[in-house]
Amino acid sequence: MSHHDHHSDNEHSGSSHHFILPDKLAYKIAGALLFFTFITVWIGQFDFGKWNFFVAMLIATVKGSLVALFFMGLKYDKKENTVIMIGSLLFFAIFMALTFTDLLFRQPMNINPALLAPPKGASQFKRAWVSSPELLKHGEELFKMQCVSCHGDRGAGDGVAAAALNPKPRNFTLDADWVNGRKPSQVFETLTKGVNAMPSFGSLSLDDRWSLVHYVLALGPDAPKDTDADLVKVGIDPTKEDGGLGGGDKSIPIDTAIDLMAE
């Protein structure tokens, strides 16, 4: 349907070359919008993992374009108005992209101010270096808050920030190439001191750290057990229920201390 067809049946002086949306076309556009609504709802029942999001946004963008081009008349309008519309989306894209640039390159420590909170007082768990359902549950909660941005929901090392990191975050589901080994005490050491791109999580309470250790080890195949000597090496006295530390290691890594002072 060309511009000029409508020019002829649109004989008014004031706004002579304005496009008038024919009813037939309006019905077609509304029909297409309803059709795509049905499609996006129907497709939603299938699980394509991450692709669900992209498919839903693609369909929404097709629908949005139909509204903008025909109902809002951008197709027939002066190009300036399209430039304004696209400009607004560009500003939005800059807003989104720069925010995510920051999010991707933040150290996990800075994402969660909870990490800077002083360690909780006395140990809640007895013999926290031995795994238990309570410790695993607590570890899962902490993992969801502190670790998923790099290590991913399932601990496969595929979090949103993983793309920006080299070497890649540890894949906890595999028993291969663990830098300091896979004994609980060795993972505890890694968590406390940090390794490669991972910062130290030594500011977490002992309970929190042990909970995380047991949780991430449970994500993969069975891990080797600690001997008493292994525990002593990381400062734990296995003969005492609280590990001989009187309820929590009060020391914090230098980096964390500097951050705290800077605040």
Partner 1 sequence: MSSTPAHAHHHAHHFKSADHEFESAKQGMWIFLLTEVLFFSGLFVAFGVFRALYPDMFHEAHKMLDWRMGATNTVILITSSLTMAMAVSSVQTGKTTRAVWSLVFTLLLACGFLVVKYFEYSQKIHHGLLPGALFNSEHLTHPKAPLFFSIYFGSTGLHAFHVICGMGVIAWVLKRTANGEFGPNYYTPVEMVGLYWHFVDLVWIYLFPLLYLVG
Positions that interact with partner 1 (CB under 8 A): 10, 12-16, 18, 20-23, 26-27, 29-30, 33-34, 37, 40-41, 44, 52-53, 56-57, 59-60, 63-64, 67-68, 70-72, 77-78, 80-81, 84-85, 87-89, 91-92, 95-96, 99-100, 103, 111, 141, 144-145, 148-149, 153, 160
Contact 173, 154 (CB under 8 A): yes
Q: Which of residues 16 and 222 has its CB atom nearest to partner 1 in the complex?
A: 16
Q: Which of residues 43 and 116 has its CB atom nearest to partner 1 in the complex?
A: 43
Angstrom CA distances, 136 to 87, 206, 243, stand at 49, 14, 19
Provide Rg for the chain, Cα atoms.
29
Task: Give me the least distance between CB of 95 and partner 1, in Å please.
Answer: 5
Report the C-alpha gap between 191 and 200 in whole angstroms: 6
Q: Which of residues 45 and 261 has its CB atom nearest to partner 1 in the complex?
A: 45
Contact 154, 219 (CB under 8 A): yes
Q: Is 195 helix (H, G, I), strand (E, B) or coil?
A: strand
Task: Give me the least distance between CB of 168 and partner 1, in Å please.
Answer: 18
Q: Which of residues 41 and 179 has its CB atom nearest to partner 1 in the complex?
A: 41
Task: Give me the least distance between CB of 38 and partner 1, in Å please.
Answer: 9
Q: Is 176 helix (H, G, I), strand (E, B) or coil?
A: coil
Contact 127, 241 (CB under 8 A): yes
